[in-house]
Amino acid sequence: MFNAMQIAYMDSMIDFYGNTSFTHDYIFGWVEGDDIKATFIDWTVFRRLLLKYDRAATSKGGMLKIRVKVDTKARAILKKNAFIIGKASELKEDSKYNKGENFERIITEKLCGEKWLKDSVPYYKAGDVIYNGKSYQVKLENAELTNAKTYENIKALFN
C-alpha cells in the first residue's frame, strides 16, 4: 500500500504526463482469449480507467502501470467500441521486440496501413501513429506508462 506522500507523488507524475503529452488520444489494446482487442480513448478515460500505481522492481521508485481488471466496469466501457486487431500470438511474433512494441507494429501495419519502424521519439514530442489525420499514442495493457526516474529526468527538461 502507498502512503499519502507516495500517492501525491504518483498523482504529480500523472498530471505531468497529461500536461506534457503531445497527444491526448490513445489506441489502447489488451488480450482477451486468443484475440488482441483495441479501442480508441482519450486522456480523461485513459487516466480514470487505466492508470494504476505500482511499485518498481528496481531502484527507480514507483511507476504508473496501465491496467484494468477483467471484472470491472472499466472493461465494459472499453469493450463498447472495441475491435479485434489481431491474434495474441502476434504479440510474440518478432522476438526482437516486447509485446508493447509488437502491438504498436500491429496497429501501424494493420490499422494505419504503413510499415512500422521502431523509434525512440518521446511521448511529449510526437504520438506513436497517425490514423485518419490524428496522432495517437499506442498502449497495451500492463505496460509501464512512466516511472519515477523517467519522470524526474523529463521534468528537468521542462524546467
Residues in the chain, overall count: 159
pLDDT at 144: 86
CB atoms within 10 A of CB 148: 18
- Give CA–CA dist 47/45, Å, rounded: 5
DSSP 76-102: HHHHTT-EEEEEGGGGGSSTTS-HHHH
Inter-CA distances, 65 with 97, 103, 156, Å: 19, 16, 22
Q: Pull the grid cell for residue 24.
A: 491526448
pLDDT at 59: 45
- Give CA–CA dist 68/59, Å, rounded: 25
Number of domains within the chain: 1
Per the CB < 8 A criterion, the answer to whether 78 and 68 are in contact is yes
The whole domain housing 46 covers 4-158
Handedness of CA 104, 106, 107, 112 (dihedral sign): positive
pLDDT per position as a tens digit, 16-66? 999 999 999 999 999 999 999 999 999 998 988 888 877 764 445 677 888
pLDDT per position as a tens digit, 65-77? 887 766 677 778 8
pLDDT at 61: 65
* Mean pLDDT value of segment 129-150: 92
Per the CB < 8 A criterion, the answer to whether 9 and 62 are in contact is yes
Q: Pull the grid cell for residue 89.
A: 500470438
Percent of the chain's residues with pLDDT above 70: 93
pLDDT at 93: 87
CB atoms within 10 A of CB 122: 13
**Burial category of 21 from C-beta neighbours within 10 Å (exposed 0-12, middle 13-18, buried 19 and up):** middle
pLDDT at 69: 66
